[in-house]
Chain A
Amino acid sequence: MPSSGLFLNELALLFRRRRTWAMLLALGAVPVLIAVAVRLTSGPPSGRGPAFLDQIAGNGLFTAVTGLFVCIPLFLPLTVSVVAGDTIAGEAGAGTLRYLLTSPVSRAKLLAVKYAVAAVFCLSATLMIALSGIGIGAALFSVGPVTLLSGSTISAAAGVGRVGLIALYIALSLLGLAALGLFISTLTDAPVGAMAAVAVLAIVAQILGQLPQLDWLHPWLFTNHWLDFADLLRDPISWSSYGQNALLQGGYLLVFGTLAYGRFASKGIVS
């Protein structure tokens, strides 16, 4: 299958970079920190701190959920900004873009491959947190049947499945940001500038999302459903937030994917 050569190569390249592993390990360290902190201070639940924190001591699986929850506002968007902002600008900055394009590969395909790799990173990042959380949770606390928000109880195995669903949900949540990053990456030859711009937008969108005066805007922010994964912890699962989120992220992908193509297809490669 010659046409998948580029994708596989770019994917291998992503995981060959020390930067990628530094980010993944940092993300994986978050649940470990949380679990160790909870373990060392084990006492009656205080009722303060991030959601799900108080459940960790009772069921280790909640370490993964808490870890994911804690990483959503800043850590995850930051790492996705690095990867998505680097997609085109990184190649342009290094001068390798001119050789890729004359190898030749069409600009549309290069964009698609770069985006697909960024999407894989989104999933790797959330899975990393989930797996690290499940692992450290199982090591430091007991893992058993999970009591859901709706009050019913499911088996530990089904609980692991729910954690997987949440990781998928959050990865999906990040796809709009990745598309935005891809577009911004076509605007400049300076990867660091693109990364910073994407990260700033992720923060700004969350701030706007907290201003009640901008209620009308909220449904259009790519961050709008970032924290809505609690529906996956009910029985039966309410899929509506999954659907809405998918629609929103798909819309961002469509708009910014088109903009990125429009910009990149006509861009003079002078770096």
Chain B
Amino acid sequence: MNATATAKLAIQTTGLGKKFGKRQAVSNLDLAVPHGSVFGFLGPNGSGKTTTIRMLLGLVTPDSGNISLLNKPMPKSAASVLPRVGALIEGPAFYPFLSGRANLVRLDAADRTSTSSTRSNRVEEALEKVGLGKASKLAVHAYSLGMKQRLGIANALLRERELLVLDEPTNGLDPQGTREVRNLVASLATEGTTVFVSSHLLSEIEQMCSHVAVMSLGNLVAQGTLEELRSTGQHRAMLRTPDPNVAIEVFARLGLETKPEPTHEGDCPQLRVVLGSDAQVPERIVEELVRAGVRVRGFVVKDPSLEERFVALTGEGFDLAQ
């Protein structure tokens, strides 16, 4: 990567790795998060997102590799970089017997570069931004999970930040709260803040982010803009026909892979065909099918979806990584 491109990266890691005992939590990770992007860090549970974030913020020392945060090496420059970074790490954590407000005051006071004269104003503002203005004097043990999550986000917003690192920020939020977080992220992004947000839910990343990196088993399996990731996906087609066997032969002849789609008893059978990344001309395929006597009752070409791409990259189902 050339120098100007590097200077525009808010986060850059090279060869980042971390082992817990025998378990490789993160391996050989090269992240490149452009300045000003809303960058989705996507991966199933246990794929190494939180571990990566802990390393970025200097909480965990990497076994290998380098980290540059806002163009400064981490963890060496933690004292000068971290005041410019707001973070939510693996969920919120607060003193239960203190009010939401007192908790934020405490964390702000811990940062010796923060200005004490503006502290109480900044705390109020952060609480307002996440909709906790009315609950600010309530002890945190009386907060619901969603309120704690909001308080965690408020902590990340205590000062003007150049970078926000949000680890699963919508965990525990209701749909309304999720929408609010999405809007908050969008408004911060328009102000120029770089947002690095992790999630195990594609739909969330898809709605919030301009860029995405996909993790699987501690490895980076894809990285780029949402469009780039989408376009590397495969076009597919669905064929509805009472002659599936003949159709499969035709597809095989055309070098296309097929999978029977589950259908209800009595319904017309369906076949799913992978067309590849540059979809073959569909009318040619249909022509071949008709010539072979296949009764085509329906033929639909589907653009590559991120969902399928995500599943292809990270595996399907409820199996936890490893």
Contact = CB atoms under 8 A, between A and B. Distances in A.
Interface of A: 2-3, 5-6, 8-9, 13, 16-18, 94-96, 98-106, 109, 266, 268-270
Contact of A2 (B59, B78, B79, B112): B112
A104 B93 contact: no
B59 A16 contact: no
Given A2-B115, A6-B112, A105-B110, A99 B155 contact: yes
Contact of B110 (A6, A17, A18, A95): A6
Q: What is the size category of the interface that chain B forms with chain A?
A: 20 to 34
A269 B54 contact: yes
B106 interface: yes
Contacts of A104: 58, 78-79, 82-83, 110-111
Contacts of A106: 78-79
B89 A102 contact: yes
A98 to B, nearest CB: 5
Nearest to B51: A270
Given A99-B87, A99-B107, A103-B107, 13 more contacts: A6-B112, A94-B93, A95-B90, A98-B93, A99-B89, A99-B93, A99-B155, A100-B107, A101-B59, A102-B82, A102-B89, A104-B78, A106-B78
A16 B57 contact: no
B59 to A, nearest CB: 4
B274 to A, nearest CB: 41
A104 B110 CA distance: 7
A14 B20 CA distance: 34
A266 B106 CA distance: 24
List 9 tightest A-B contacts by C-beta distance, closest first: A95-B93, A104-B82, A5-B109, A269-B59, A103-B110, A268-B60, A9-B109, A103-B111, A105-B110
Interface string B98-127: 100000011111111111100000000000
B112 A101 contact: no
A3 B112 contact: yes
A18 B82 CA distance: 33
Interface of B: 20, 54, 57-61, 78-79, 82-83, 85, 87, 89-91, 93-95, 97-98, 105-116, 155
Contact of A5 (B78, B83, B93, B116): B116
Contacts of B61: 266, 268
A18 B95 CA distance: 13
B79 A270 contact: no
Contacts of B95: 13, 94, 96
B59 A102 contact: yes
Contacts of A13: 95, 98, 106
Nearest to A3: B112
A116 to B, nearest CB: 14
A110 to B, nearest CB: 8
13 contacts: A9-B110, A13-B98, A94-B95, A96-B94, A96-B95, A99-B107, A101-B58, A102-B87, A104-B58, A109-B112, A268-B59, A268-B61, A270-B54
Contacts of B57: 98, 102
A9 B97 CA distance: 15
Given A98-B59, A98-B89, A100-B107, A2 B113 contact: yes
A13 B60 CA distance: 27
Q: Which residue among A13, A17, A99, A269 has the maximum number of chain B CB atoms within 10 Å of its CB?
A: A99
Nearest to A1: B116
Contacts of A105: 110-112
B175 to A, nearest CB: 26
Contacts of B109: 5-6, 8-9
Contacts of B105: 9
A5 to B, nearest CB: 4
